[in-house]
């Protein structure tokens, strides 16, 4: 039978009797004879293509297989699959029967409202059937190209990955002007589904690869991919006998951004940093994010001089302020450690370790700078690790102790309080001074435990003295700024005061100017809570940092401690006397108590008294003592007073 379009097709007729109550009927059923065999072929095509997808064959190979099988089922047509990238440009995936030069001519063509069948179908996100390429306006700019290769008609179907996103187009070409056959439409329905499955599978594979090899926040290579590239670069450098520089970079004080502004702002800062750092490097270099705020750059062929130049560029690139919102600006800096292959290590692990040592040296040097690895650093690191291990052991085995130094009123030597000073004598290392082990405790995360132990031991000792009837007015304890950032100091103090039945005014917490100048709301809230309890707050080493007198008015400070560096040369240095007098005057005008530290001579004492300093402590007045020695000192003072 000939169809309305003129196509000659073969049908199967089936006659089926259908008797009713009053008459006999015969139903004539018509179905295309090729329908059953065509459906079987389509089923076989689907099985073969899905098997290729399941076996993980490349997308281009799967699409080539699909096109070849369709062309075998319908030799009168030619197939093509064009991928559509995120910028809306076409790229050939498969076209086994089309001339290669024709496919190449389509590579990179931008989709649009009049870009042949495929470009228009992708732009409209709906099928486009062109029965005559020579006359259809959609092909006005491409008809000469198509006709030169004998292509007369084209039907293109977009492959939608989402309702808004086209992943590819599947097209049938004919060698003469014509409409699309019914069987061809059925094939395309099946092929469109197969194309979508194959494209989605590729998307999933790419996503898995991104998760496995790329950082989800910055898009940079992650630790795994960096390791693979680094080992390849080192193997090449070994063969070519060329150097390789490794730069390990850490964003300074990044935790403050996360804690104060939130992780979303922190991620934005990391993305901005990654973009700026990447702009400083060559295409042959590798920039990766190892985790947190730590980045690493691998520079093949770079020696020490070039690495130093690149490090300077990286540091400078981060300096311009980055606006996080209309009223929030982040200013970044970075510390960089540099190691060079082969001098500083023969493999990736050694180079990373040594760059890490150098990076921490850059942080100790003041941050915002770069340092090369030196072998002496490794020895220093070993010593630091040994110190950390011994400190952990001392914390867990009661190896620490407190000494107490009296604070005296200068006019009459009356005891106004004591300062608790941490002491540590290790069985192997001997006496370890606080200025050596406190920085280690801050770096390795032990400072909270250390501060907590000191505070509890001091409160317990003060309670024991008062219960024994010893007139100790109060105790002062140093608290690290880090603990205010990471812990709830106010809650801990309140718990200790209640447990030991101490009045809040008997406890003084000594903090540094660094904490007072910080705008971290968590710290400020804790300082206000401590003040509300009645706990005294003292600014230790006042005048040695970047002083700002405004915080003395807005924060609940009750005491200033004049640093011993100002006291040491009071008798001979006019500038020190002027500075000391200024601090004493500031304290007096603001109603704050002033305590001079490090008083060692009678002359220093006389100068301080003349300047109006009310309270002092130091070796010239009384040395730090064990609790037993302090009790004996108190007893001897009482005995002298009785005589």
Q: Indicate the class that CATH gives domain 401-422+446-642.
A: alpha beta
Nearest to 65 by CA among 89, 95, 36: 95
Lowest mean pLDDT segment, chosen from 105-119, 176-190, 536-550: 536-550
Q: What confidence score (pLDDT) does residue 492 get?
A: 93
* Separation CA 2–CA 9 (nearest Å): 6
Lowest mean pLDDT segment, chosen from 106-110, 258-262, 318-322, 586-590: 258-262
Q: Does the pLDDT of residue 522 top 60, yes or no?
A: yes
Mean pLDDT of the chain: 88
Q: Where in the chain is the domain with CATH 3.30.70.270?
A: 223-373
Of 560 and 1, the one with more pLDDT: 560
Lowest mean pLDDT segment, chosen from 159-168, 181-190, 553-562, 579-588: 553-562
Q: What confidence score (pLDDT) does residue 280 get?
A: 94
Please give the CATH topology (third level) of the domain spanning 56-211: Beta-Lactamase (3.30.450)
* pLDDT confidence bin for 109, thresholds 50/70/90: very high
pTM: 0.52
Q: What confidence score (pLDDT) does residue 32 get?
A: 66
* pLDDT confidence bin for 34, thresholds 50/70/90: low
Q: Does the pLDDT of residue 255 top 90, yes or no?
A: no
Q: Which residues contact 467 (CB under 8 A, 6 or more apart)?
A: none
Task: Give the pLDDT confidence of 381-433 residue by residue, as tens digits.
Answer: 677 788 888 999 998 888 899 999 999 999 999 999 999 999 999 998 899 99
Q: What confidence score (pLDDT) does residue 542 get?
A: 76
Q: What confidence score (pLDDT) does residue 622 get?
A: 93
Which is the CATH superfamily of the domain at 223-373?
A: Reverse transcriptase/Diguanylate cyclase domain (3.30.70.270)
Q: 3-state class of 227 per DSSP?
A: helix
The count of other CB atoms within 10 Å of the CB of residue 544 is 14
Q: Does the pLDDT of residue 547 top 60, yes or no?
A: no
Buried b (16+ CB within 10 A) or exposed e, 147-182: eeeebbbbbbbbbbeeeeebbbbbbbbbeeebebbb
Q: What percent of the chain has pLDDT over 90?
A: 52
Q: What percent of the chain has pLDDT over 70?
A: 93
Of 639 and 474, the one with more pLDDT: 474
- Find the angle CA(75)-CA(81)-CA(86) to the nearest 5 degrees: 170
Nearest to 540 by CA among 568, 508, 494: 508
Lowest mean pLDDT segment, chosen from 531-535, 617-621, 637-641: 637-641
Of 96 and 25, the one with more pLDDT: 96
Tell me which residue has tokens 């290392």: 429
Lowest mean pLDDT segment, chosen from 205-214, 460-469, 583-592: 205-214
* pLDDT confidence bin for 124, thresholds 50/70/90: very high
Q: What confidence score (pLDDT) does residue 486 get?
A: 80
Q: Does the pLDDT of residue 378 top 70, yes or no?
A: no
Q: What confidence score (pLDDT) does residue 254 get?
A: 85
Q: Does the pLDDT of residue 36 top 70, yes or no?
A: no
Q: What confidence score (pLDDT) does residue 381 get?
A: 67
Strand spans (E) along 410-493: 415-426, 430-431, 475-478
Q: Where in the chain is the domain with CATH 3.30.450.40?
A: 56-211
The count of other CB atoms within 10 Å of the CB of residue 144 is 11
* pLDDT confidence bin for 380, thresholds 50/70/90: low
Q: What confidence score (pLDDT) does residue 544 get?
A: 64
Q: Where in the chain is the domain with CATH 3.20.20.450?
A: 401-422+446-642
Q: Does the pLDDT of residue 225 top 70, yes or no?
A: yes
Q: Does the pLDDT of residue 504 top 90, yes or no?
A: yes
Nearest to 226 by CA among 295, 311, 314: 295
* pLDDT confidence bin for 330, thresholds 50/70/90: confident
* pLDDT confidence bin for 545, thresholds 50/70/90: low
List the structure tokens of 50: 């899905």
* pLDDT confidence bin for 452, thresholds 50/70/90: very high
Torsion sign over Cα 633, 639, 641, 643? negative
* Separation CA 167–CA 159 (nearest Å): 6
Task: Give the pLDDT confidence of 352-377 residue by residue, as tens digits.
Answer: 999 998 998 888 888 889 999 887 66
């Amino acid at each position: 039978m000939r169809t309305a379009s003129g196509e000659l097709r073969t049908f199967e007729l089936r006659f089926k009797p259908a008797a009713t109550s009053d008459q006999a009927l015969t139903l004539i059923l018509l179905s295309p004879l090729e329908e059953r065999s065509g459906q079987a072929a389509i089923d076989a095509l689907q099985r073969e293509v899905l098997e290729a997808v399941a076996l993980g064959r490349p997308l281009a190979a799967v699409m080539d297989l699909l096109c070849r099988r369709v062309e075998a089922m319908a030799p009168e047509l030619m197939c093509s699959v064009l991928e559509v990238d995120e910028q809306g440009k076409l790229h050939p995936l498969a076209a086994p029967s089309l001339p290669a030069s024709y496919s190449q001519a389509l590579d990179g063509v931008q989709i649009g409202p009049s870009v042949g069948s495929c470009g228009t179908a992708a732009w409209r996100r709906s099928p486009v059937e062109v029965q005559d390429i020579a006359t259809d306006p959609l092909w006005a700019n491409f008809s000469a190209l198509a006709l030169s290769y004998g292509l007369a008609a084209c039907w293109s179907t977009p492959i939608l990955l989402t309702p808004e996103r086209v992943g590819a187009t599947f097209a049938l070409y004919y060698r003469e002007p014509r409409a699309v056959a019914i069987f061809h439409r059925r094939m395309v329905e099946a092929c469109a589904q197969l194309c979508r499955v194959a494209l989605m599978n590729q998307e999933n594979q790419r996503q898995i690869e991104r998760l496995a090899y790329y950082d989800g926040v910055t898009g940079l290579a992650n630790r795994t991919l960096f390791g693979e590239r680094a080992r390849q670069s080192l193997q090449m450098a070994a063969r070519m006998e060329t150097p390789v520089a490794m730069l390990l970079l850490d964003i300074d004080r990044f935790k403050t951004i996360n804690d104060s502004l939130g992780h979303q702002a922190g991620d934005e800062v990391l993305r901005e940093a990654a973009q700026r750092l990447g702009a400083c490097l060559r295409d042959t270099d590798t920039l990766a994010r190892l985790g947190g705020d730590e980045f690493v750059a691998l520079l093949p062929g770079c020696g020490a001089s070039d690495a130093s130049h690149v490090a300077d560029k990286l540091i400078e690139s981060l300096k311009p302020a980055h606006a996080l919102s209309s009223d929030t600006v982040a200013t970044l800096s970075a510390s960089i450690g540099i190691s060079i292959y082969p001098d500083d290590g023969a493999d990736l692990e050694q180079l990373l370790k040594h760059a890490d040592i150098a990076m921490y040296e850059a942080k100790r040097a003041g941050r915002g700078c770069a340092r090369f690895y030196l072998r002496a650093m490794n020895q220093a690191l070993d010593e630091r690790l040994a110190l950390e291990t011994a400190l952990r052991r001392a914390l867990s085995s009661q190896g620490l102790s407190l000494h107490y130094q009296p604070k005296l009123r200068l006019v009459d030597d009356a005891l106004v309080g004591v300062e608790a000073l941490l002491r540590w004598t290790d069985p192997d290392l001997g006496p370890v001074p606080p200025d050596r082990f406190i920085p280690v405790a801050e770096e390795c995360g032990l400072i909270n435990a250390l501060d907590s132990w000191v505070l509890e031991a001091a409160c317990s000792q003060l309670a024991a003295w008062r219960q024994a009837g010893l007139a100790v007015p109060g105790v002062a304890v140093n608290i690290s700024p880090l603990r205010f950032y990471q812990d709830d100091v106010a809650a801990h103090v309140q718990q200790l005061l209640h447990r030991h039945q101490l009045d809040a005014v008997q406890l003084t917490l000594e903090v540094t100017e660094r904490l007072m100048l910080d705008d971290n709301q968590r710290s400020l809230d804790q300082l206000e809570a401590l003040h509300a309890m009645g706990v005294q707050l003292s600014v230790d080493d006042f005048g040695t940092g970047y002083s700002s007198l405004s915080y003395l008015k807005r924060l609940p400070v009750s005491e200033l401690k004049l640093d011993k560096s100002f006291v040491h040369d009071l008798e001979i240095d006019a500038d020190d006397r002027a500075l000391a007098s200024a601090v004493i005057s500031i304290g007096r005008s603001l109603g704050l108590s002033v305590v001079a530290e490090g008083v060692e001579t009678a002359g220093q004492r006389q100068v301080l008294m003349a300047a109006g300093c009310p309270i002092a402590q130091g070796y010239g007045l009384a040395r730090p003592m064990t609790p037993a020695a302090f009790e004996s000192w108190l007893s001897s003072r009482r005995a002298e007073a009785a005589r």
